[in-house]
Amino acid sequence: MTKSEKNKPRGPGTKLVSAGRGPADQHGFVNTPVYHGSTVLYANADDLFANRIKYSYGRRSSPTIDALTGAMNELEGAHGTVITPSGLSATTTALLSVARTGCHILVTDSVYHPTRHFCDTVLKRMGVETSYYDPLIGADIRGLIQDNTVAVFTESPGSLTFEMQDIPAIAKAAHAGGALVLVDNTWATPHFFKPLEHGADMSIQAGTKYVSGHADVLIGTISANEAAWPRLRETHGAMGLVAGPDDIFLALRGLRTMGVRLKQHEESGLAVARWLQSRPEVERVAHPALESDAGHAIWKRDFSGASGLFGVELKPVPDAKLRAFLDALELFGMGYSWGGFESLVVPADMRYRLLPSSFKGPLLRLHIGLEDIDDLISDLEGGFAAMA
């Protein structure tokens, strides 16, 4: 904790800069250094037999790990945080911490596809039943909760289709039915949405995306409230999950600038989204911060900002023309992941959805990076020209 935090409440940007830092413990250096280490030495036999030591083993913790978990606890308003080697291992570890043979979990149909794959393979083999619910369900989720339902896994807005979910209503219904609520909060980050303050029990980050922010790290975090923390900590420790200290350092470095980066992703994302809405080739833009979006009211009520990732539905167009559009883009790279400084585009693969979608034409997912807005718009203009 820095001096300032002891005295006054501070704004969200200030918290991103100061959370988890303790220069006094690091000889005054601003950043907590990278501790590479497995073995930690005990001072004497008494300490060894009593296991009296702050850090007992590199897998369990280190000052580098504490710096990131401490920062995330503060930002998410959590009782405890664990770090995992990827965002996917964060969603799977969170699910494993609540699952047991014979139980049932509810997962949004708009979930990040690899999370769905984990439920349909590993959890299924363990005897865990998964049902997928409509992301717009809200309080009606009460009707889907069974005696053996242990958790509702949400993601808001959803992957690829960007539906907003009413997390407070879902949490109220889930808790009444004895189930915990897990939120994959990667899109908003705790800077723009704090799930635990809205009734959720765990908030998950693919830190790979905006936290790291530079397309150079894979890392995940799970932050839990007091009720969910013991099982989460036990599961994470039992599985031996650990992220490399250099990657943790890069995630911490990313966190310090995440506020200004997100502000630009938000501004540029909205500018490009509005421009796309004016294009004759575009059927619909799925972006919850647009007033026209079906999820706008929930976004406005619960979130304090928007990141730079959204969907664009084109009017039906032959496959060859869609390829011509994509191939003509120079600034939008074609590739997976997002949250870095660079703009990206991928087609949305909807084959795995169970519930019918309202999208008819090709759906693209755009990530708006930190390039100049005019350049991005002119790049997309070039794409549309090649498509014509």
* Catalytic residue list: 59, 112, 184, 209
Residue nearer to ligand PLP on the CB measure, 117 or 256: 117
Joined tokens for residue 150: 């242990």
CB of 118 vs ligand PLP, minimal distance in Å: 11
Residue nearer to ligand PLP on the CB measure, 149 or 221: 221
CB of 112 vs ligand PLP, minimal distance in Å: 4
Residue nearer to ligand PLP on the CB measure, 163 or 184: 184
CB of 242 vs ligand PLP, minimal distance in Å: 15
Residue nearest to ligand PLP (CB): 87
State how far the Cα of 332 lies from the Cα of 162, in Å rounded to an integer. Answer: 20
Residue nearer to ligand PLP on the CB measure, 145 or 368: 368
Residue nearer to ligand PLP on the CB measure, 21 or 209: 209
CB of 308 vs ligand PLP, minimal distance in Å: 13
SS percent in the chain: helix, strand, coil, step 5: 40, 15, 45
Q: Strands (DSSP E) along 191-308, which ranges?
A: 202-206, 220-224, 282-286
Q: Give every CB contact of residue 314 below 8 A, 6+ residues apart in sequence.
A: 281, 282, 283, 322, 361, 362, 363, 364
State how far the Cα of 120 lies from the Cα of 128, in Å rounded to an integer. Answer: 9
CA dist list (Å): 227 to 4, 127, 200, 233, 370 = 30, 24, 11, 11, 39
Burial class (CB in 10 A: 0-12, 13-18, 19+), 21: buried
CB of 323 vs ligand PLP, minimal distance in Å: 24
Residue nearer to ligand PLP on the CB measure, 128 or 309: 309
Q: Are 135 and 165 in contact (CB under 8 A)?
A: yes
CB of 243 vs ligand PLP, minimal distance in Å: 10
Q: In this structure, what DSSP letter does residue 156 have? A: S
Q: Which helix (H) or strand (E) holds 322?
A: helix 319-328
Residue nearer to ligand PLP on the CB measure, 155 or 201: 155
Q: Are 258 and 361 in contact (CB under 8 A)?
A: no
State how far the Cα of 348 lies from the Cα of 54, in Å rounded to an integer. Answer: 47
Give the interface with ligand PLP as residue ranges (CB under 6 A): 86-88, 91, 112, 155, 159, 184, 186, 206, 208-209, 218, 220, 337
State how far the Cα of 63 lies from the Cα of 20, in Å rounded to an integer. Answer: 10
How would you label 114-141 residue by residue, b for 16+ Cβ within 10 Å and e otherwise?
Answer: ebbebbeeebeeeebebebbbbbbbeeb
Which of helix, strand or coil describes residue 102?
coil
Say if residue 190 is preceded by a cis peptide, omega within 30 of 0.
no
CB of 231 vs ligand PLP, minimal distance in Å: 21
Of the candidates 269, 234, 110, the one whose C-alpha atom is nearest the C-alpha of residue 183 is 110
